[in-house]
Amino acid sequence: MSGAAFPAAGGGTEPVPSVDLAAEWREIAAEAEPRVLEVLRSQQFVLGPAVASFEQAVAGRIGVAHAMGVASGSDALLLSLMALDVGPGDEVVTSAFTFFATASAITRLGATPVFADVRRDDFLLDPEAVRAAVGPRTRVLLPVHLYGQCADFPALDAIARSAGAAIVEDAAQAIGAARDGRAAGTVGDLAAFSFYPTKNLGAAGDAGLVTTGDDRLAARVRRLRVHGSEKRYEHLEVGINSRMDGIQGALLEVKLRRLDAWTRARAARAARYDGLIASAGLDGHVATPVVHPGSLHVFHQYVVRAERRDDLRAHLAARGISSEVYYPIPLHLQECFADLGWRRGDLPETERAAAESLALPIYPQLSDAQQDRVVEAIAAFYR
């Protein structure tokens, strides 16, 4: 798409997608293509020097001692819980307003997810609800830094300490985020990141990362990701096969150098949405995201609460404007977790969030004209 596709502010008719990966690729292709080709020529496809180099770079950016490249964010969660020996009889307190993998990592190990409700203002785990959900079997608290804003670290820290539980951060949407001066990926005993292509730092396929400040846990994850092996064909325990590909490491290292600029662009887009929505007088119909003082929100998504959400979404779609719902069915109501015994009404704020939230298009290359069109279309709906 050329710049000419959006001739005049507000006047365009081009579709507004939810993400524009092609625009991102155009920014980095010249730098990334030779690096990827280098990996192909080296034939070092699994882990290898490109992954080691990325691991070091991303650990430095996050400010954490250890970063381990794995096959996906889902596996990063699974490996983090495996490294803590979570298993049958253990409970993990987490959110039901998140991507499926947050909870499936728990059940895959035979442990039980205990869902705590989220707060109405920020969609993040409510520390009071977490405190009430903690019991004698609680081994881990698993907060999700949903949409790119960190969970309430100090409160969760205090609960984990008094319960003798570990913390695993689901930081899949939150690379670069921080709260009260502490970065996502540095607060928990372990943290899981995803580089799924549409994440703020996206691979050319599936990839993920585990971070930890603990030498022993880092060594454990390194061996669990290669079938529990430290020396070839000697298996100390049963792990899984979950390693980052060399091509992903090479590409991600190139993209990492752009991450801070891209994050600033996302935050600027978010602030501009706030302003446009307020000046269109939409406050009564659309609630804009809450960013806490001391919170560095990286706006993986810009999520509003909207009156008559589904009708608004259809109205936008009819005008070529994409929007998404993350997530329409909370995890406690998923068919596959029916045997856990949760009922509609058990998590009122989670269920309300699933019914009211709407993610508007946000990505670094989103233009002013595109943003104007989105907000004008919302205003037309409520007029």
Ligand X SMILES: *Cc1c(COP(=O)(O)O)cnc(C)c1O
DSSP 89-133: T-EEEEESSS-THHHHHHHHTT-EEEEEPBPTTTSSB-HHHHHHH
Q: Is 94 in the site for ligand X (CB under 6 A)?
A: no
Give the shortest CB-199-to-ligand X separation in angstroms. 6
User: How many Å apart are CA 380 and CA 312, to the nearest integer?
Assistant: 10
Kindly determine how many residues on this chain lie close enough to bind ligand X according to the rule CB under 6 A: 15
Q: Under the criterion CB under 6 A, does residue 101 sit at the interface with ligand X?
A: yes
Judged by CB under 6 A, the stretch of 66-74, 303-311, 332-340, 345-353 that binds ligand X is 66-74
Q: Which residues, 6+ apart, have CB-to-CB distance to 212 below 8 Å?
A: 64, 65, 66, 83, 189, 190, 191, 218, 221
Stretch that binds ligand X, among 70-78, 244-252, 262-270, 290-298 (CB under 6 A): 70-78
Applying CB under 6 A, which of residues 44, 94, 194, 367 lies at the interface with ligand X? 194
Binding mask 135-174 for ligand X (x = CB under 6 A): ---------x-------------------------x-xx-
Contact 54, 252 (CB under 8 A): yes
Binding status of residue 242 toward ligand X by CB under 6 A: no
- Number of Cβ within 10 Å of residue 170's Cβ equals 29
Stretch binding ligand X (CB under 6 A), from 35-43, 69-77, 175-183, 247-255: 69-77
Question: Which two three-digit tokens encode residue 122?
Answer: 């920020």
* Cβ nearer to ligand X, comparing 212 with 301: 301
- When binding is defined by CB under 6 A, the residue of 185, 188, 208, 364 that contacts ligand X is 208
Q: What is the DSSP string of 211-249?
A: EES-HHHHHHHHHHTBTTEEETTEESS---B---BHHHH
**Spacing of C-alpha 25 from chain mean position:** 20
What is the helix (H) or strand (E) element at residue 168, kind and residue range? strand 166-170
Stretch that binds ligand X, among 14-22, 71-79, 85-93, 254-262 (CB under 6 A): 71-79
| Shortest-Cβ-distance residue relative to ligand X | 73
Answer for which of 24, 44, 51, 73 binds ligand X (CB under 6 A) is 73
Q: What is the distance, to the nearest Å, from the Cα of residue 37 to the centroid of all Cα atoms in its chain?
A: 29
**102 is an interface residue for ligand X by CB under 6 A:** yes
- Examine residue 200 and tell whether it contacts ligand X (CB under 6 A): no
Residues that bind ligand X (CB under 6 A): 72-74, 98-99, 101-102, 144, 170, 172-173, 194, 196, 206, 208
